[in-house]
Amino acid sequence: MKYYILLHIMLLIYSTSGIFSKMAAGYFMGSSAFFACYAGMMVVLFIYAIGWQQVIKHMPLSVAFASRPVTIVWGMMWGYYVFGERITVMNIIGALVIVLGIEVYLCGNKVSGHE
């Protein structure tokens, strides 16, 4: 359970790279603000890469990769809270399908003993 929680913390961290990426898109490519956003994104990805390596040492890679789409849910939340984007009913349905798909896969691994 400890590494499953750590996995989701790492995925949350990974999802913040999208914030920096979208912010960078609002600046001229050669500007210092663009490079600051790009540097922020690189720092986030570096932290994520180190954490990801630690997590996959302790859990099946298939379980870790199956959980990655949850970043879409985080991305929706970042879009709403940071950029004021709308979350539609279709967004919510899509997010639920993703989360349910992850749960079905993970439950299937528990039943088959591949966890």
Gap between the Cα atoms of 47 and 96, Å rounded: 28
- Angle separating helix axes 2-15 and 32-56, nearest 10 degrees: 160
Q: How confident is the model at residue 85 (pLDDT cuts 50, 70, 90)?
A: very high
Tokens of 53: 């390596």
Question: What is the chain's mean pLDDT, rounded?
Answer: 91
DSSP label at residue 18: H
pTM, two decimals, is 0.80
Number of folded domains that form the chain: 1
Yes or no: say if 1 and 58 are a contact pair by the CB < 8 Å rule. no
Tokens of 9: 């913390």
Reported residue count of the chain is 115
Structural domain harbouring 79: 2-112
Of 36-40, 45-49, 60-64, 88-92, the least confident? 60-64
